[in-house]
Structure 1
Amino acid sequence: MAENEEQALEERLKSALWFSIGKIVDEETLKLGVNATPQFIGALTEMVWAQIESVNTDLESFAKHAGRSTISTEDVMLLARRNEGLEAVLKAYVDKQKGGKSKRPTR
């Protein structure tokens, strides 16, 4: 992918993230009866984007260390190990997904 295409894609992704965060912030501020400035939404979007980039780097490193070019569920679980609450939610979700697959009829 050319540099310009990558930059355009990144900008589209950031715009979509800003829009989604803006919707969530709007919903929550209505519930709480408070206001949020566009600057707050912009700062929150930048913080989330930085976190996404950090997670991306870590997941790619875990997969590369394991000799894979594809990120796996195990990589995500390894990343979540420091956050017990998140790890528990992800583990329950993964277990549910695996359980659903094994209950499907075979042909």
Structure 2
Amino acid sequence: MEADEEEKLNHLQTLKAAIHFTVGRICEEVGAELGLTYHRKVIATLSEITCSQLEHYATDVEAFSNHARRTTVSTDDVKLLVRRNPQLAEHIKEMTDSMEETRKKKGKRGRKPKIKDPPEDNTEQTVIDD
């Protein structure tokens, strides 16, 4: 059990490091455009706020899917999550519409059509005895 907890902690630290790195890159890009520099403590604070907010989002979408008696989070759960942010809700709607169009063009992904049972051969076989 202890190894499992250690693995989860390691995974969480890896995710937080990736978020910190990404926030730092975004700050660099925005800073270059605006002629600003961001202190390391500001980047660390933004990273912590981002991680905290993502944990809340994950808890919320999980609760939405559980309430709908589903075990998988769907796009409807995400739409429900962002309903109070009109710009983000519109962006998510556009993305899901685009995904649906792509899915319709490709057909059902990864599924092979069901093969019906082969028709029974009703022809008689003649056995010749010598």
State the TM-score bracket (shorter-chain normalisation). over 0.9
Structure 2 gap ranges (5+): 114-130
Q: Calculate the TM-score normalised by the size of structure 2.
A: 0.77
Query: 1:43 & 1:28 partners in 2: Cα distance?
Result: 17
Identity %: 35
Query: 1:3 & 1:103 partners in 2: Cα distance?
Result: 43
Structure 1 gap ranges (5+): none
- Structure 2 matches for 1:6-25, cutoff 5 A? 6-25=8-27
2:70 maps to what in 1? 68
2:66 matches 1:102: no
Query: 2:106 & 2:72 partners in 1: Cα distance?
Result: 26
Structure 1 consecutive aligned stretches of length 4 or more whose deviation exceeds 2 Å: 103-107
Write the letter of the residue equivalent to 1:6: K
Match for 2:90 among 70, 76, 88? 88
Query: 1:101 & 1:69 partners in 2: Cα distance?
Result: 22
Q: Calculate the TM-score normalised by the size of structure 1.
A: 0.93
Write the letter of the residue equivalent to 1:53: E
Match for 1:58 among 60, 64, 76? 60
Which structure shows the bigger proportion of residues in helix conformation?
1
Write the letter of the residue equivalent to 1:92: E
Describe the superposition over 1:34-92 as per-residue Cα deviations: whole angstroms up to 9, x where unpaired.
11000000000000001100000000100111111110111001111111111111111
Q: Specify whether residues 91 and 22 from structure 1 end up closer, same or farther in structure 2 by C-alpha distance, changes over 3 A only.
A: same
Q: Specify whether residues 102 and 9 from structure 1 end up closer, same or farther in structure 2 by C-alpha distance, changes over 3 A only.
A: same
Write the letter of the residue equivalent to 2:75: T
Q: Which has the larger radius of gyration?
A: 2
Query: 1:99 & 1:83 partners in 2: Cα distance?
Result: 24
CA RMSD across the alignment? 1.6
| Number of aligned residue pairs | 107
Say which structure, 1 or 2, has more relative contact order (CA 8 Å, 6+ apart).
1
